[in-house]
Amino acid sequence: MKEKFDKTELLGATRQILSQIAIWTEYLYDANASERLVGNLPGIGDDSKKQWTASGCAGSVIERSIVLRNIGRVIDCFNSNVWNGDVDNLNSTYSALTPFHRLLKKSAALTSAVHYALDSDAVSSTYLILEIFYVRVKLEVNRDELELKELATIAGLAVKTVRMAAIGQDKNPELVTIKDGSRTYVKAEEAIRWLATKNVGFRPIEWFKEKLLPSYRPNNLSELGLYLRTLREKTNRSVSELGSHLGWEKKVIDEYSAIENGAETSDLSLFTIEKVMRLAELLCPPESHELVRVIDGVIHPRLLEMKIAELLPNATGLKGE
């Protein structure tokens, strides 16, 4: 089945926007500020747009971004018509994306002809996804009435087309609207009914109720090893088979095996964000974005501790000996 929204392209557009926002820090700090924040970035010009579609291309900080993760979930929902979580989870995503949504709403200023302006095509495509999501939450979760332009957003139709469907209230119109002074709106039930009669691919969101990830969250490397082993065993793959499928080198497979066995001396630096993302997609596809955060929540602090330990002087140096 052809997907309605191209996830690879839209996540690429989101990476590009987040990276360009990071570059603004050059004006606040210094020329290397953005690289310290996200690492080396692909070029910003038109010729490099395709680079943004690759996982990890914009740096590990952006790949861990709650914005990127949640936009991915929204796209998955639109393409499958299933939300992998409950209503509270969806509302959390709504709240998490609100600052980014408001930022893109200022697109006229953000894409103006200034140095390091946001790419207008990236802003347009990403903002449309967010607009559809916010209106669908308003309609399907909150059951609020919609303005005609909001109904047009969900349907992917021109506002004029929706307005024409409501013409002739005394002659059994195609779409029943309500007038309140100068305001014209459609009740939630009527909006859903009308959308179902149009060939716009709309169906109410279905809820994926089964929780695939373990309910507890690991707090240390030993707990993470048990957590990952539980998920791997559900796939009926051995550690070697898993590593082979992911294209890991032997040393990476060995280190992963050590993690599952609770070893405290594993070389965690081998597990880049790209490797963690592919591992999560293999172990638990419906909740891979959440699994990435679970793994990173244990590994990243440990890597930071190791880095600090390398940079700090040793005890002898502190004593001045």
How confident is the model at residue 146, as a pLDDT?
A: 95
**Alpha helix segments (H runs only) across the chain:** 7-23, 25-28, 33-38, 60-63, 66-80, 87-105, 107-110, 120-136, 148-155, 159-165, 188-197, 221-234, 239-246, 250-260, 273-283, 288-311, 315-319
Joined together, the tokens standing for residue 79 give 């393409």
- Report d(CA 158, CA 156) in Å as an integer: 7
Contacts of 190 (CB under 8 A, 6+ apart): 175, 176, 177
- Provide the token pair at 178: 């309500």
**Are 230 and 216 a contacting pair, CB within 8 Å?**
no
Residue range 203-223: mean pLDDT, rounded: 83
Give me the pLDDT at residue 316, please: 46
Which helix (H) or strand (E) segment holds residue 180: the answer is strand 178-180
Q: Give the separation between CA 19 and CA 37, rounded to whole angstroms.
A: 10
For the chain, the structural domain boundaries read 7-141, 146-207, 221-311
At residue 3, the pLDDT reads 67
Of the ranges 57-61, 171-175, 207-211, 249-253, which one carries the lowest mean pLDDT score?
207-211
What pLDDT score does 240 carry? 92
Segment 67-76 shows an average pLDDT of 90
pTM of this prediction exceeds 0.85? no
Cα separation, 100 vs 18, in Å, equals 9
Mean pLDDT, rounded, of the chain: 83
The answer to whether 212 and 286 have CB atoms below 8 angstroms apart is yes
The per-residue pLDDT for range 26-48, each reduced to its tens digit, is: 666 777 777 776 776 776 554 55
The region of weakest confidence among 76-85, 220-229, 243-252, 308-317 is 308-317
Q: Determine phi and psi for 146, rounding to 5 degrees.
A: -115, 145
- pLDDT on residue 48: 57
Mean pLDDT confidence for 70-91: 87
pLDDT at 315 over 50: no
Q: What are phi and psi of 71, to 5 degrees?
A: -65, -35
Summarised one tens digit per residue, pLDDT across range 186-203 is: 999 999 999 999 888 888
Distance between CA atoms of residues 41 and 25, nearest Å: 14
pLDDT level of residue 152 (50, 70, 90 thresholds): very high
pLDDT surpasses 60 at 320 = no
Q: What is the pLDDT of residue 114?
A: 57
Q: In the chain, what percentage of residues exceed pLDDT 70?
A: 85
Give the integer Cα–Cα distance in Å for 93 and 82: 15
> What number is the average pLDDT over the span 84-113?
81
* Amino acid of residue 14: T
